[in-house]
Amino acid sequence: MRFFLPLALGLSLLLAGCGQRMSPPPEEAPAAEEPAPVPEPKPLPAPEPVPEPAPQLEPPPAPADFVLVSDCVPGIRADLKYAGEDNFTGQVIYDFTEAYLRYGTARKLAAAQEILTAQGYSLLIWDAFRPTEAQFRLWEVCPDPVYVANPERGFSSHSRGNTVDVTLVLEDGSPVEMPTGFDDFSPLADRDYSDVPETAAANARLLEDVMTDCGFKPYAGEWWHFSDTDSYPVEEDFVPGK
């Protein structure tokens, strides 16, 4: 009986221990993940430069607008005789030294200049637009209708801005032989040419042919005088150089 008592007691303790739920061993905590590297920000591309607006081109002048001839006719020369004393009056008639014409007339003159330049020549302007005040001044100095238009009866076509007095020179400005000088009122100045040296006549004919082909009408009494076939009214307001 003593032998079974300890055995029974041990068996009871064993059964009691087996009846209890065995707790699973604690799980190990997962290792903490290292944070992903933060990408460095990429620099933004520089903004494209904004192109400047194209400059607005000014429209060309109207045919009747007055222009400085040298701005429209490359290489042309000018020696305005009435701006100094080298004219038939011996007096200054107007106070500007650059030639002005209507834009439409200046374009025709540019065409003539281009043709002559190709042949080694250039135009030389002796007179272009002549203000009405200058016409009165001419009449005051020389009141003779044979030589000067009486402004009380009508103005010279020079006051319309479509008439020009021109001669030929070489491209470098050297003179060439022509029938006469400016404002020569002798018969040698007309367009007959039979009474002047052949070289002078040939040069005058060349000038006349080119100017006529480019839209000018020659005046029979003066080999240097040409008017645009397009007419304009007498101009009383335009002041050259202002």
Q: Which residue numbers are catalytic?
A: 222
What DSSP letter does each residue of 63-125 carry, written as one string? TTSEEEHHHHSTT-EE--GGGSS-STTSS---S--S-EEEHHHHHHHHHHHHHHHTTTEEEEE
Angle among Cα 228, 229, 230 to the nearest 5 degrees reads 85
For residue 15, what is the enclosing H or E element? helix 4-19
Whole-number Å distance between alpha carbons of 171 and 114 = 11
Where are any strands of DSSP class E within the chain? 66-68, 77-78, 100-102, 121-127, 163-170, 216-218, 225-228
Contact 103, 94 (CB under 8 A): no
DSSP character at residue 191: S
The type of residue at 109 is: L
Residue 101 burial class via C-beta count within 10 angstroms: exposed 0-12, middle 13-18, buried 19 and up: buried
What H or E segment, with its residue span, contains residue 135? helix 132-141
